[in-house]
């Protein structure tokens, strides 16, 4: 058994290495690669993706899994080996269904779309992307059709990112959340809008980067096993447990953009840095689902990074970092500014209260595209119509409309948006559980100390990697299944006080 298990691990490590190489090329493409490299990079990533897929779907893995199953069944559910065999079987049975040629085509098409989006968005040129997007939709449907027997065509795509969720269950959860969220948004936006002009002063780039990095070091992001670089659309990526990188962008007249994206991506990265080193290179090496991953970024970005306790400690540091810029701005004004709630156009800039409405729009639109009830040629207008209906505003162009997010332009439609809102819901659920175990966490945050919180997250979430599915992990860590209640308690507690509603 041990020899078979070692052979399985060795094969998984090989697959993992190919995926890491592909991620490294993707990181380079989004940070330092000159535009002239685009075509070759698309080909190279497709080639390595194809190779990884071939290795991941080698029938020898299926045989090993079958041979190891009796051993797995003899182990306690919590054992690492049992978890490895479970998670690998799930991934293997999913991967063998998608033909290698389709995987390669998706990868190559994704790279081409991404490059086209980089130049089309600033030019507000949705027309240029339309044929690419139509192809993306066609390929996404083909992938879904590799999993016959689904109830909704988006189900197999959602399942790849948030295992255990379906179009129907996400819709039901979102409807529940929407019902409670809309009255809160209404009550808040009936109040005078918070003044956030203090964030729009001039903040030199170097200071912004240094300040963000100072904080995430305190959070526990390990720069010996990571680094931060600049990109268009911030993300975190991993090549090994010892090399988990983040990216950000800086606008000198918008303090929040760089700062909160750094805090956000550090949350993703700390999850990956915190995986048990014994899992390195196996199926267990990495966060368990998109929603759980996003819960970690939103927890550090919002629940910690936009809290009053946090800024009672960090605001004097920020003022010292930008001398004369914020001296006339009291903490109370700054705190209101970073928690300004308004009906806005851009998801990534949206406040905590309205953010989920942005996600629901995208989720509904992509479901409609996949169902065939919405055509790509009508997508830009459908986008505007939904923003008018849900948020009461309309973007002046497509740049801040349908072109604003990279997701649909990286080669896939479906599965990638619901995780943001699941993440918000879960961030509050996990934080509440951490507070129950350690009620003094807010006091520590007020001193710029994050060790107890980080320790709880590492112990209950990070270290497990993908050993447990998201539903299992949520139960284990918080004691109950996913629920919107802790999230609504958090939002109400914070914003009813801020806005006196």
Q: Which is nearer to Zn ion, 44 or 297 (CB)?
A: 297
Cα–Cα distance for residue pair 30/115, rounded to 1 Å: 9
Q: Give the residue ranges of DSSP H helices in 199-338.
A: 205-219, 255-273, 290-298, 308-321, 331-338
Phi, psi torsion values for 237, nearest 5 degrees: -145, 155
| Nearby residues of 465 by Cβ (< 8 Å), 6 or more positions away | 275, 276, 279, 284, 285, 286, 287, 288
* Sign of the torsion formed by the C-alpha atoms of 32, 26, 402 and 376: positive
Nearest CA to 295 out of 162, 414, 440 is that of: 162
Place of tokens 């992509």: 366
| Separation CA 322–CA 44 (nearest Å) | 44
The residue among 260 and 314 lying less far from Zn ion, judged by its C-beta, is 260
Cβ proximity to Zn ion, 194 vs 244, nearer residue? 244
In whole angstroms, give the CA distance from residue 423 to residue 420: 5
CB of 262 to Zn ion, least distance (A): 12
Minimum CB separation from Zn ion for residue 25, in Å? 21
Residue nearest to Zn ion (CB): 297
Is the Cβ–Cβ distance between 313 and 326 less than 8 Å?
no
Cβ at position 114, least distance to Zn ion in Å: 17
Q: Which two tokens stand for residue 128?
A: 């240029």
How many whole angstroms separate alpha carbon 92 and alpha carbon 94?
5
**Residue 289 or 297: which CB sits closer to Zn ion?**
297
Angle, to 10 degrees, between the axis of helix 379-391 and the axis of helix 355-371? 140
Is residue 85 within 8 Å of 147, Cβ to Cβ?
no
Tell me the CA end-to-end span of the chain in Å, nearest whole number: 63
The residue (of 281 and 286) whose beta carbon lies closer to Zn ion is 286
Shorter beta-carbon distance to Zn ion: residue 409 or 499: 409
CB of 264 to Zn ion, least distance (A): 6
CA-closest candidate to residue 374, choices 108, 174, 154: 154
Structure tokens given for 216:
């995430």
Q: Token pair for residue 385?
A: 């119509």
Binding stretches for Zn ion (CB under 5 A): 294, 297
State the nearest-atom distance from the C-beta of 267 to Zn ion, in Å. 8
CB 194 within 8 A of CB 340: yes
CB of 246 to Zn ion, least distance (A): 10
Paired strand residues for 243:
240
In the complex, the smallest distance separating the C-beta of residue 8 from Zn ion, rounded to whole angstroms, is 31
In the complex, what is the shortest distance from the CB of residue 347 to Zn ion, in angstroms, rounded to a whole number?
Answer: 11
Distance CA 483, CA 173 (A): 9
How does 53-63 read in b/e, with b if 16+ C-beta sit within 10 Å?
bebbbbeebee
| Greatest pairwise CA separation for the chain in angstroms | 70
Q: Considering beta carbons, is residue 261 or 339 the nearer one to Zn ion? A: 261
| Residues annotated as catalytic (active site), given as ranges | 265
Rounded least distance, CB 143 to Zn ion, Å: 23
Cα distances (angstroms) measured from residue 458 to each of 272, 451, 461, 465, 472: 10, 10, 6, 10, 16
With 0-12 / 13-18 / 19 or more C-beta atoms within 10 angstroms meaning exposed / middle / buried, residue 149 is: exposed
Output 81 or 352, the one with its CB closest to Zn ion: 352
Cβ pair 115, 132 in contact under 8 A: no
Residue pair 163/467 in contact by the 8 Å Cβ criterion: no
- Of 273 and 297, which CB lies nearer to Zn ion in the complex structure? 297
Min CB(268)–Zn ion separation in Å: 6
């Amino acid at each position: 058994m041990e020899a078979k298990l070692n052979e399985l691990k060795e094969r998984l490590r090989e697959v993992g290495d190919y995926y890491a190489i592909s991620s490294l090329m993707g990181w380079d493409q989004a940070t330092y690669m000159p535009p002239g490299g685009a075509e070759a990079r698309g080909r190279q990533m497709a080639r390595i993706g194809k190779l990884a897929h071939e290795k991941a779907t080698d029938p020898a893995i299926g045989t090993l899994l079958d041979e190891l199953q009796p051993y797995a069944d003899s182990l306690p559910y919590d054992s690492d080996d049992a978890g490895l065999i479970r998670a690998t079987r799930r991934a293997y049975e999913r991967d063998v269904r998608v033909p290698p040629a389709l995987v390669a085509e998706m990868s190559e098409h994704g790279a081409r779309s991404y490059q086209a989006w980089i130049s089309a968005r600033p030019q507000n040129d949705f027309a240029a992307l339309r044929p690419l997007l139509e192809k993306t939709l066609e390929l996404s449907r083909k992938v879904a059709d590799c999993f016959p027997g689904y109830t909704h065509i988006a189900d197999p795509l959602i399942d790849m990112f948030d295992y255990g969720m379906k179009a129907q269950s996400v819709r039901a959860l979102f409807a529940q959340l929407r019902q409670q969220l809309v009255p809160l948004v209404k009550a808040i936006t009936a109040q005078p809008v918070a003044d956030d002009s203090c964030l729009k002063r001039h903040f030199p780039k170097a200071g912004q980067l240094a300040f963000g990095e100072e904080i995430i070091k305190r959070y526990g992001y390990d720069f010996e096993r990571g680094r931060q670089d600049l990109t268009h659309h911030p993300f975190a990526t991993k090549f090994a447990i010892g090399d988990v990188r983040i990216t950000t962008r800086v606008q000198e007249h918008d303090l929040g953009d760089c700062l909160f994206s750094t805090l956000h991506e550090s949350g993703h990265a700390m999850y990956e840095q915190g995986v048990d080193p014994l899992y390195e290179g196996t199926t267990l090496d990495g966060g368990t689902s998109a929603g759980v991953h996003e819960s970690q970024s939103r927890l550090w970005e919002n629940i910690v990074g936009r809290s009053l306790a946090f800024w009672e400690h960090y605001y004097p540091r920020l003022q010292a970092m930008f001398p004369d810029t914020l001296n006339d701005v009291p903490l109370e004004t700054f705190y209101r500014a970073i928690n300004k709630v308004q009906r806005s156009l851009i998801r990534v800039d949206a406040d905590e209260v309205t953010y989920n409405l942005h996600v629901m729009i995208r989720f509904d639109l992509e479901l409609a595209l996949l169902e065939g009830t919405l055509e790509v040629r009508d997508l830009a207008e459908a986008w505007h119509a939904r923003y008018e209906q849900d948020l009461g505003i309309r973007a002046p162009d497509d740049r801040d409309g349908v072109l604003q997010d990279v997701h649909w332009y990286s080669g896939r439609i479906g599965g990638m948006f619901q995780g943001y809102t699941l993440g918000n819901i879960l961030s509050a659920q996990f934080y509440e559980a951490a507070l129950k175990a350690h009620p003094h966490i807010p006091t520590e945050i007020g001193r710029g100390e994050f060790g107890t919180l980080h320790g709880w997250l590492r112990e209950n979430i990070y270290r497990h990697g993908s050993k447990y599915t998201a539903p299992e992990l949520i139960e284990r860590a918080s004691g109950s299944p996913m629920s919107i209640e802790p999230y609504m308690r958090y939002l109400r507690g914070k914003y009813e006080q801020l806005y006196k509603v």
